[in-house]
Structure 1
Amino acid sequence: MNPIIEQLVIQKMNHLTAEELYQYAVQCKIHVTKQQAAHVAGRVRNKGINPFQPSGQKALRRILDEEIGENLAEHLEKQFEQLAKNL
């Protein structure tokens, strides 16, 4: 993975707002509530989670499991893996 892209993703996650996350979900047709988006954004903001590293993936998956449910979290994880392969 390109380190510049990794840094951009991490930086975006560190400054992610609930409204931005909700709008991304709507654009991608991911069914989450504004409250769920707010909880996820609040838990990832300023945490420096790197979703390209195994430890960051585990941390992010744990947050998603707790906030949006295991089924949707698994679906999103598969989508991210596919996206990361294409970058």
Structure 2
Amino acid sequence: MKQVAQQFVMQKLKQLTVHDLMSYSKQYTIPISKSEAELIVKALRKNKENPFEPNGRKRMLTKLAAITSKDTARSVNRLLMELAKEHGVAHWLK
């Protein structure tokens, strides 16, 4: 069941829109500009890393940092953690 839920989340990440990301950034008070959101969404659609595995998440965030900035990658990680906490799956992101 856990693997099915993780696959669902990964699919949702690939379908994330700039508007969705901007809404989440406002909701959680995480600064992300529209141009950064566009780059992040584009990168997430190409992402093959599993964000639920620590090494996969680290590689994903390193790639994001390379196309945006370290601060933006940290913001995306924080946003991912907040969303996981809100949906009761924070323990999956060890």
TM-score by structure 2 length? 0.69
Q: Secondary structure at the match of 1:45?
A: helix
* 2:56 corresponds to: 56
Q: Could you list the runs of 5+ residues in structure 1 that have no partner in the other structure?
A: none
* 1:85 corresponds to: 91
CA contact (8 A) 2:39 2:67 kept: yes
What is the 5 A alignment of 1:1-87?
A: 2-74=2-74, 76-77=76-77, 80=81, 83=85, 84-85=90-91
Deviation at 1:54, TM superposition (A): 3.5
Distance 1:67 1:41 in 2: 11
**Alpha carbons of structure 1 residues 76 and 16: separation in structure 2 relative to 1, 3 Å:** closer
| Counterpart residue type for residue 47 of structure 2 | K
Could you say what the CA RMSD is over the residues aligned between the two structures, in angstroms? Answer: 2.9
**Residues matched between the structures, number:** 87
Deviation at 1:64, TM superposition (A): 2.9
CA contact (8 A) 2:32 2:75 kept: no
**Alpha carbons of structure 1 residues 56 and 10: separation in structure 2 relative to 1, 3 Å:** same
TM-score by structure 1 length? 0.73
* CA offset digits 1:28-49 (Å, max 9, x no partner): 1100101100100011114343
